[in-house]
Structure 1
Amino acid sequence: MEPIPNDAKYVRYNISGNIFEVPAKYKPPIMTLGSGGYGLVCSAVNSESNETVAIKKIMHACENPIQAKRTLREIKLLRHLEHENIVGIKDIIVPPQRDFFEDVYIAFEMMDSDLYKVITSYEKLTKDHYQYFLYQILRGLKYIHSANVLHRDLKPSNLLVSVKCELKICDFGLARAASETYAMTEYVTTRWYRAPELLLNSSTYTTAIDMWSVGCIFLELMTGRPLFPGRDHVHQFCLILEVINILCPKKDNHEILGL
């Protein structure tokens, strides 16, 4: 795709109707890797290091306090967390106008896919694959927890993988310090991987919530199906109760479960 002229230091690319503005050192091919509510992720080549990176564009990063805190939290944590099983930041791109900007661009090390795509591709995996992926998840998570941090949003799409089966944990926008004592009631963890204490609106929780997510991910990796694909909070809790042979109440579920 052809660059849109800007100035000598920055180049703009139109990617599916989205303007992607990066320093001129990042050269084509600029390819879309993914998108979501946060914005857009594209690959590019750093001409100075000849290294392919994944650039995450966080749209309207400072539009509201919650989004701004999430962006700042991810940058601060990943600048300090350096581990083989945690995705690394390669560059925090300074905006052309530092006094006024809406979007934030962060360059991460490049990975080939994520565990969600691996699971849904129906590629035949062996016991060695299962063990190696789980080992790397636990290894990275042990490091995160040793830094007194809870990830709080572990799910297959937040586990990046390479063609060599290397795995790295990403997306620390919802991570928090485990020592924070105030009530932690904001959104955490995609529902299918959410621990029971979160479903019951517990105001405090521990590293156990991340371990619960790992267990759900591991079973999904082996079976190809989510372990607890709840339609809502109540259905999610009932699915968990069924696994441990406890009948879910049929009457006034929301009132009984306090949801």
Structure 2
Amino acid sequence: MFSLTNKTAVITGGGSGIGKAIALLFAKQGAAVHIIELNTDAAAEVIKEIKNAGGDGKAHATNVTDQQAILNVFNEIGKVDILINNAGIAHVGNLENTTEVDLDRIFNVNVKGAYNCLYAAVPLMKQAGKGVILNMASIAAHVGITDRFAYSMSKGAIFAMTLSVARDYLADNIRCNSISPARVHTPFVDGFIAKNYPDNQAEVFEKLSKSQPIGRMGKPDEIAFLALYLCSDEAGFVTGNDYPIDGGFITLNN
């Protein structure tokens, strides 16, 4: 079950964290994995790990905010069965302390970056007569989270784009879903805490862990397993849905 043999998967932000976990698992399941990642060293390490395990992969040092560069990469790849829009950045701040520069930066990476990849991938999928898209949303798309104005805006957009693409391309046999994780323990989270809360990192980590009713953060592999199902042929009846994977955050925090 859940074989991806003879499928080509493009994963943005696949050099670390959730993206890395998805890339490794998809390669293990037989997919040819293409990682779009600005951190060339990290991406190269993931591809090396994939190849050492007998898999097939390639890294592309491309900025998701550059539409022409993205179009060039997708045209080079040629065949795209699966697109994982995972690349994203965070921002701490409410409306009043979110500058225009902050907002533009978040929008360009999290929203425009996903749009650029959709814009490049969908015509290739239409040509092939099938395709699967998985967008990385967030619990921030569904509930109010303190001091996450710009980030929540961007993930709400991801959720809305998921529904729009799923609806518009039903006749083309293109499925589109999203995943909404709560906090997942990745190097991204560690760096985020170190940057924004340098004086009380352990306390903040504990607080963020306990904000999930289940009592801990998620693991990248746990997100990857859900992604595998949603991108597999076994999920052929699933489209236009968002899947919270959140340790009960949305429904049990009361």
Structure number with the bigger relative contact order (C-alpha 8 A, sep ≥ 6) is 2
Task: Calculate the TM-score normalised by the size of structure 1.
Answer: 0.26
Q: Which has the larger radius of gyration?
A: 1
Q: Higher helix share goes to which structure?
A: 2
Q: Which has the higher strand share?
A: 1
